């Protein structure tokens, strides 16, 4: 299949590109490639086509879409922290430009669009294991934007014939995750440990997340290619909830270096409890098993030890 | 209470203003008032304060909000038909400017915001009686925009202290409804009958709506003032589903003038089935009963016969 990966040089996107290349697909990566370099995909140079462009720019996006069968959409201009104080950024940068992408993809007769939504923010405050039939109650502009983008995919499905898969992904972690971003507690803590700074834990036993290994996510996302005419909404999480307190314990066992911790209350934009039921997705991926968290956390720590560069 | 009614000179808004004045509240109406005249509220001149302004204009909106306790938001730049071919209009005109209103209302310490959402488009395709716990699946930009605006009210509730009531209103009908708009089948048919043109029925037994009398809606909306610190989402519909075929029958009985009908298939942007369960709202309004449809349809027909002006 001819697949274009929008934002494919990022954390999640680049892992997906690696999986898709392995599976034999013809991959185009659309990203900024500032300074002419890939952040995460230099090893794929020659194996995939790189298109440098701005997601906001219609002509750049159109160039990337031409002749493609499937579009994977990994671009996000915001995160829950940055969008918290600026809802207009969410509307103008994420929502508006995503809808522009869908409009262009419809016109270019793309067969399928695959959108990375957010299991951590679309549902809002819930308790217990969350499946896809739960009523979304997003309370951050980031989650509200993701939800509206999902709904616009319904519109384009109805209006033209653009089929879509939507993945509501939990807290992905693993190699290549930006280490000084406001999002991604595991990468953030590892960076601080390597910098010999104290780590800041927002929340404790009251703040529970579903951490999912990025390599697992990348493999699961490929099922959209196998079943190209189906449309669906899928959670991507392990179903195992880990509190901030437990995460600190696990860090203590896995990380072979001492670290100091400062406890802070949960931030306003943080959801207290997100644990995802992904049975709908797993049923479509026979034989799939989620990786062991402690094992992959250890591998991630080894990776960042080799590749970490100070700010 | 000091209440500002955004878009208060429109069909629904003006009926609400009449009820709110009757109940003794201090009302400000924000609308365009093109040419210095009210479309529907000239009879209230002197009893309510008129502020002419553009909803898109921050300063105009700010002037209207100053010193107010409650904001009723009736403004809509689009309808399901116009938004169908232009999702960007929905994002830029409705969503963006509504969020601007909420931001300004938060800053001005308004106590409560009351938003007119849409029972006919927010839920998308459903069957049976729809209550507020049903998973929204909007498929038109209009419904997607309404849903995102609802979600942004969660954000402002969390972020500041702006409490909100959301009304998902069925097909309102009655006096003052625009008669040459793409929305509002009852007004549209009556106009065509008065013009001696054939009426166009989109859909038949397969297209079912919940028609709710505008005077009933206006009275129900006042409960937000009585319970100012509560927040809620409420359907506003009678729970009686009437198909296009039945509506034609009822027109035949109520309208004392012959008319010709052209049957057309349902349009893409029309939802097949919308019947709303409003028990949550009615439980808050002791003694309330919905008006009889045939009776109010007859009154509306008398009204338009007196007031109708050809295009």
Q: What is the pLDDT of residues A183-198, one digit of tens each?
A: 899 999 999 999 999 9
Strand order in the sheet with A2-6: A49-52, A26-31, A2-6, A70-73, A112-118, A163-169, A232-236
- What contacts A208, CB < 8 A, 6 or more positions away? A241, A242, A243, A244, A272, A273, A274, A275
Say if the Cβ atoms of B144 and A159 lie within 8 Å: no
Alpha-carbon distance of B39 to B29, in angstroms, equals 12
Element (H, E) at A172: strand A171-173
How high is the ipTM of this complex?
Answer: 0.91
Token representation of residue A129 = 């294991």
Q: Min CA distance, A132 vs chain B (Å)?
A: 10
Q: List C-alpha distances in Å: B26 to A158, B14, B16, B63, B269.
A: 45, 14, 13, 16, 39
Q: Min CA distance, A86 vs chain B (Å)?
A: 10
Q: Please tell me whether residues B228 and B247 are part of one structural domain.
A: no
Q: Please tell me whether residues A38 and A154 are part of one structural domain.
A: yes
Q: Please tell me whether residues B231 and B247 are part of one structural domain.
A: no
Say if the Cβ atoms of A151 and B133 lie within 8 Å: no
- In chain B, which among 240-279 make CB contacts under 8 A with chain A? 268
Alpha-carbon distance of B188 to B202, in angstroms, equals 12
Point out the residues of chain A with pLDDT beneath 50: none
Q: B241-281 pLDDT, tens per residue?
A: 999 999 999 999 999 999 999 999 998 888 899 999 999 99
Number of domains in chain B: 2
Q: Please tell me whether residues A113 and A19 are part of one structural domain.
A: yes
Q: Min CA distance, B181 vs chain A (Å)?
A: 22
**Partners of B49 in the β-ladder:** B28
Q: Reply yes or no on whether the pLDDT at B310 is more than 90.
A: no
At A93, is the secondary structure helix, strand, or coil? helix
> CATH code at A193?
3.90.25.10
By Cβ distance, the residue of B99, B139, B144 closest to A91 is B99
Q: Please tell me whether residues A71 and A123 are part of one structural domain.
A: yes
Q: If you average pLDDT over residues B123-151, what whole number do you get?
A: 95
pLDDT of residue A118: 96
Q: Please tell me whether residues A141 and A41 are part of one structural domain.
A: yes
Q: Confirm or reject contact between A135 and chain B (CB < 8 A).
A: yes
Closest CA relative to residue A180, chosen from A170, A168, A189: A189
What residues make up the domain containing B105?
A: 2-172+212-236
> Which residue in this structure is represented by tokens 């009204």?
B303
By Cβ distance, the residue of A91, A136, A140 closest to B91 is A91
Alpha-carbon distance of A105 to A97, in angstroms, equals 12
Token representation of residue B284 = 């808050």
pLDDT of residue B64: 98
Q: B56-80 pLDDT, tens per residue?
A: 999 999 999 999 999 999 999 888 8
Nearest CA in chain B to A157: B139
Q: Please tell me whether residues A83 and A186 are part of one structural domain.
A: no
Q: Please tell me whether residues B138 and B25 are part of one structural domain.
A: yes
Q: Please tell me whether residues B122 and B262 are part of one structural domain.
A: no
Q: Please tell me whether residues A245 and A269 are part of one structural domain.
A: yes
> CATH code at A63?
3.40.50.720
Q: Confirm or reject contact between B123 and chain A (CB < 8 A).
A: no
The fraction of chain B above a pLDDT of 90, given in percent, is 90
At B256, is the secondary structure helix, strand, or coil? coil
Q: Please tell me whether residues A48 and A133 are part of one structural domain.
A: yes
Q: Sorting pLDDT into bands at 50, 70 and 90, what band is B84?
A: confident
At B28, is the secondary structure helix, strand, or coil? strand
Closest CA relative to residue B136, chosen from A57, A199, A147: A147
By Cβ distance, the residue of A96, A124, A139 closest to B88 is A96
Element (H, E) at A247: helix A244-254
Q: B196-227 pLDDT, tens per residue?
A: 999 999 999 999 999 999 999 999 999 999 98
Q: In degrees rounded to 5, what are phi and psi of residue B138?
A: -65, 145
Q: Please tell me whether residues A165 and A248 are part of one structural domain.
A: no
The fraction of chain B above a pLDDT of 70, given in percent, is 100
Q: Which residues of A128-155 are buried (b: 16+ CB within 10 A; e: fewer)?
A: ebbebebebebbbbbbbbbbbbbbbbbb
Q: Is B210 in contact with B240 (CB distance < 8 Å)?
A: yes
pLDDT of residue A34: 93
pLDDT of residue A141: 94
Q: If you average pLDDT over residues B278-299, what whole number do you get?
A: 98
Work out the angle at residue B207's Cα, subtended by the Cα atoms of residues B205 and B212, and round it to the nearest 5 degrees.
115
Q: Confirm or reject contact between B95 and chain A (CB < 8 A).
A: yes
pLDDT of residue B289: 97
Q: Min CA distance, B298 vs chain A (Å)?
A: 37
pLDDT of residue A251: 98
pLDDT of residue A308: 86
Q: Is A298 in contact with A254 (CB distance < 8 Å)?
A: yes
Alpha-carbon distance of B303 to A88, in angstroms, equals 43
Question: Please, what is the end-to-end C-alpha distance for chain A in angstroms?
Answer: 39
Work out the angle at residue A68's Cα, subtended by the Cα atoms of residues A64 and A69, and round it to the nearest 5 degrees.
145
- In chain A, which among 24-53 make CB contacts under 8 A with chain B? none
pLDDT of residue A309: 80
Q: Sorting pLDDT into bands at 50, 70 and 90, what band is B169?
A: very high
Q: Sorting pLDDT into bands at 50, 70 and 90, what band is B107?
A: very high
Count CB neighbours of A17 within 10 A. 29
Q: Confirm or reject contact between A152 and chain B (CB < 8 A).
A: yes
Q: Confirm or reject contact between A184 and chain B (CB < 8 A).
A: no
Q: Tell me the pLDDT of chain B averaged across its residues.
A: 95
Q: Reply yes or no on whether the pLDDT at B39 is more than 80.
A: yes
């Amino acid at each position: 299949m001819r697949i274009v990966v929008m934002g494919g040089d990022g954390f999640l996107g680049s892992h997906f590109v690696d999986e898709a290349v392995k599976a034999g697909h013809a991959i185009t990566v659309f990203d900024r490639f500032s300074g002419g370099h890939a952040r995460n995909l230099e090893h794929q140079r020659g194996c995939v086509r790189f298109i440098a462009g701005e997601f906001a720019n219609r002509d750049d996006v159109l160039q990337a879409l031409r002749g493609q069968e499937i579009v994977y959409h990994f671009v996000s201009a915001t995160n829950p922290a940055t969008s918290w104080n600026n809802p207009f950024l969410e509307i103008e940068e994420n929502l508006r430009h995503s809808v522009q992408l869908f409009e262009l993809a419809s016109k270019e007769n793309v067969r399928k669009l695959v959108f990375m939504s957010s299991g951590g923010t679309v549902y809002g405050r819930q308790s217990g294991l969350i499946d896809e039939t739960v009523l979304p109650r997003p309370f951050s502009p980031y989650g509200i934007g993701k939800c509206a983008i999902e709904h616009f995919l319904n519109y384009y499905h109805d209006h033209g014939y653009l089929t879509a898969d939507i993945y509501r992904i939990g807290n992905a972690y693993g190699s290549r995750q930006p280490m000084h971003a406001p999002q991604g507690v595991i990468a953030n803590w590892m960076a601080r440990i390597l910098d010999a700074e104290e780590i800041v834990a927002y929340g404790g036993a009251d703040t529970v997340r579903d951490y999912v290994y990025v390599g697992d996510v990348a493999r699961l996302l490929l099922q959209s290619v196998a079943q190209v005419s189906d449309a669906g909404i899928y959670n991507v999480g392990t179903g195992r909830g880990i509190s901030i307190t437990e995460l600190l314990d696990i860090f203590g066992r896995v990380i072979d270096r001492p670290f100091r911790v400062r406890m802070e209350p949960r931030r306003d934009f943080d959801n207290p409890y997100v644990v995802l039921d992904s049975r709908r997705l797993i049923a479509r991926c026979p034989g799939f098993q989620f990786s062991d968290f402690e094992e992959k956390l250890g591998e991630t720590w080894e990776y960042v030890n080799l590749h970490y560069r100070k700010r």
